[in-house]
Amino acid sequence: MSDYFIGDVQGCFDSLQSLLKKIKFSSDKDQLFFLGDVVNRGDKSLTTLRFIKDLDNNAKMILGNHDFHLLACALTSRKPNSKDTFTDILRANDRDELIGFLLKKPLAIKHKDALLVHAGVPPIWDQEIIFKQSALVQKYLQGDDVSSFLSSMYDNEPNKYHNDLDELDACRYTINALMRMRFCKSDGELEFDHKVNYDQAPEGYKAWFLHSDRKLKNTDIFFGHWSDLANVNQAHVYPMDHGCIWSGALSAIRLEDRKIFSVNC
């Protein structure tokens, strides 16, 4: 019995099938965890999402920013942009089931000694805050007015977290931090203007995992979202987006021995 954490599939269904063949995935024995961004940019978002949903108890997943964007396009007046490739989901006859499936997904998972998030964890956050905030977002995603909730999440403010933020501000920070963050300050202030290499952070900022005073620096964190972290060699930091949609690889890591399995895309 093995647990595998899989990086950003982004609708690359054929690569996912190759990867599952490579790990000899057995639905009787193995459990898959998807690190978010299962849809968009690749050519088979609908097939991928149906497949993951049909895995039922064999698969868990967290929401990534592309999954979240799909929810917004499905449930608000927001329109897909020209690069989005998930309109097959929006037109599908099982669209409501697929969207309902995503609406139940958390922003973080704790599994054995591993912590799973899509983008990262602010340096000042411990596990208690992560799961409290993930639960708060889930409360709104499953609430009566998910449409206005999703609409109000599209903003970069507040860029800092405080205990006294109102719930919607706290949700917006949480989504931006757990699903989109790359660079931040040691106090958790987020930065979204730069998409540069992790070691070229803008003045005053660092890649979130490079802050030496991080509260969770001794917790193994598995994440996706940032595809060019191949050279990162930090204890307890496991970047798993290996750039499938950029002709890189789709990868899974086996929890028990941290062995990485990859297929070229």
Which residues of this protein are in contact with Mn ion, per CB under 5 A?
A: 37, 64-65, 225
Nearer to Mn ion, 30 or 182 (CB): 182
Nearest distance, CB of residue 66 and Mn ion, angstroms: 6
Q: Determine the residue with CB nearest Mn ion.
A: 225
Structure tokens at 197: 């290499």
Kindly report the CA angle at 247 between 67 and 51, in degrees rounded to 5?
40
Nearer to Mn ion, 148 or 248 (CB): 248
Nearest distance, CB of residue 243 and Mn ion, angstroms: 12
Nearer to Mn ion, 64 or 239 (CB): 64
Q: What is the identity of the amino acid at 47?
A: T
Nearer to Mn ion, 30 or 35 (CB): 35
Q: How far, in Å, CA of 220 to CA of 209, rounded? A: 11
Q: How many CB atoms lie within 10 A of CB 28?
A: 6
Nearest distance, CB of residue 107 and Mn ion, angstroms: 12
141: left (phi over 0), alpha (psi -120 to 50) or beta: alpha
Nearest distance, CB of residue 245 and Mn ion, angstroms: 11
Nearer to Mn ion, 181 or 210 (CB): 181
62 and 240 Cβ atoms separated by less than 8 Å: no
Q: Roughly what angle, to the nearest 10 degrees, separates helices 167-175 and 127-141?
A: 110
Nearest distance, CB of residue 119 and Mn ion, angstroms: 6
